[in-house]
Chains A and B, each alone.
Chain A
Amino acid sequence: DVKVTQSSRYLVKRTGEKVFLECVQDMDHENMFWYRQDPGLGLRLIYFSYDVKMKEKGDIPEGYSVSREKKERFSLILESASTNQTSMYLCASSSYRALHFGNGTRLTVT
């Protein structure tokens, strides 16, 4: 069974802080993704990566960056957290069959 692990379930940060959200998958998948989930807005793609050290912007990359130094790990970085980045963040990796999501990190920026 595919396992996608996000390091934190809940996170509270202050405005202006640099925030790191970590994600690890154990299935040797090449493709990894970061989505943001907000009520009424669904799942929106922030960034994705199809190989180590490769990254591509999704639909809402502003205010975010990513890092993929190892195949199994994909990090989302908020350079200077703002209150409008309060959200649920979902990491995923993909097989041919499906996207496999982590449990999510609920980030609150105060």
Chain B
Amino acid sequence: GENVEQHPSTLSVQEGDSAVIKCTYSDSASNYFPWYKQELGKRPQLIIDIRSNVGEKKDQRIAVTLNKTAKHFSLHITETQPEDSAVYFCAASRGSGGGADGLTFGKGTHLIIQP
């Protein structure tokens, strides 16, 4: 089955700086890569996703890049703000959305924005 590795487990950045979280996956058949954000005490929510036919996708201050050859993908957050503080999870799937088989998640990155 799929195995997703995520680094770092904790990331502390100054407010206004950029943050990068990296993930690798093992199943070359995976073609859908979402990122979920979980604020303290709340449910995980989808913030951005990318499919395998695209190398990069951007939505305001967040972007995701995908390198299928190397089987890794990354989340980039620019101009970080206090509300970006949360746990971020990457995931991989052969389907899309949740698919029929679910998502395999990384172990999460706790992003801390220092004022």
Q: Show the binding face of A for B, using Cβ within 8 Å.
A: 31, 33, 35, 40-45, 48, 50, 56, 58-59, 90, 92-99, 101-104
User: Which residue in A33, A40, A59, A102 is a CB contact (below 8 Å) of B98?
Assistant: A33
CB pair B96 A50 closer than 8 Å: no
Identify the closest chain A residue to B34 (Cβ).
A98
B103 to chain A, nearest CB (A): 6
Chain A residues with Cβ below 8 Å from B76 are none
Return the 8 tightest CB-CB contacts between A and B, nearest first: A94-B98, A42-B107, A98-B46, A101-B43, A99-B98, A43-B105, A96-B97, A50-B100
Assembly CA distance A33 to B100 (angstroms):
9
CB pair B34 A31 closer than 8 Å: no
How many A-B residue pairs have C-beta atoms within 8 angstroms? Tell me. Answer: 67
CB pair B46 A99 closer than 8 Å: yes
Q: Show the binding face of B for A, using Cβ within 8 Å.
A: 1, 6, 9, 34, 36, 42-46, 49, 89, 96-108
Chain B residues with Cβ below 8 Å from A101 are 43-45
CB pair A43 B9 closer than 8 Å: no
